[in-house]
Structure formats: C-alpha cells, structure tokens
C-alpha cells in the first residue's frame, strides 16, 4: 500500500513538506501542459518518458542511418507525395 506520511501541522517541517507537495503538483501540471494531455502522477510521468525515450531512440537510429547514406550518396532526394 501507498501511505503518505506528513509531519504534524504544528511542526517546523510541515511548511517544508507542504511546499514540496505544491512543487510536485506544479511540476506534474507543467509536464501535462507541455505534453498536451493530462498526467496523473509521477509513475505516469515515468511511463510516458520511457515511451518518449524509446521513440526518440528510434528517430535517432533512423537519422544516423540516413546520415551514413548521405555521406555515401550526397544527392538530394525528392520525395513525392501521392494523393489518393
């Protein structure tokens, strides 16, 4: 189970704890805005980042393969978009 332990409201550590909670909410909100969709919590962010990292790595691999081909065959390629 996930238990949230917070200091008593009359303790000196409470303000620091409350500020940290607000900072976490603000960062999750900032991430959600940047992503353009709601993010539930930190664990959700981790999953999203892992997916984005995997996609980025695929893009980098394709870019690197294209760079090798560009070195060997530097002519521009004209891509044609066929309309249906």
> What is each CA distance from 67 to 53, 55, 64, 78, 82, in whole angstroms?
21, 18, 5, 16, 25
Answer yes or no: is pLDDT of 57 > 90.
yes
Within a domain: 83 = no
Say what the pLDDT of residue 1 is.
Answer: 47
- Domain residues for the domain of 59 are 13-72
Question: Is 5 domain-assigned?
Answer: no
Domain count, the chain: 1
Q: What is the pLDDT of residue 52?
A: 97
Does a structural domain hold residue 30? Answer: yes
**Class of residue 43 by CB neighbours under 10 A (exposed 0-12, middle 13-18, buried 19+):** exposed
Q: Span 42-46, mean pLDDT?
A: 96
* 2: pLDDT strictly greater than 60: no
In this structure, is residue 50 part of a structural domain?
yes
Read off the pLDDT of each residue in 29-49 and give the average, rounded to a whole number: 96
The pLDDT of residue 12: 81
Q: Are 32 and 39 in contact (CB under 8 A)?
A: yes
The predicted model scores a pTM of 0.68
In a domain, 36, yes or no: yes
């Amino acid at each position: 189970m996930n238990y949230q332990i917070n200091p008593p409201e009359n303790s000196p550590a409470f303000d620091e704890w409350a500020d940290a909670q607000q900072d976490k909410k603000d960062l999750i909100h900032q991430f959600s805005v940047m992503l353009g969709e709601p993010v539930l919590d930190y664990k959700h962010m981790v999953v999203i980042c892992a997916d984005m990292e995997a996609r980025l790595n695929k893009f980098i691999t394709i870019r690197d393969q294209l760079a090798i081909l560009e070195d060997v065959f530097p002519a521009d390629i004209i891509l044609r978009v066929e309309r249906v």
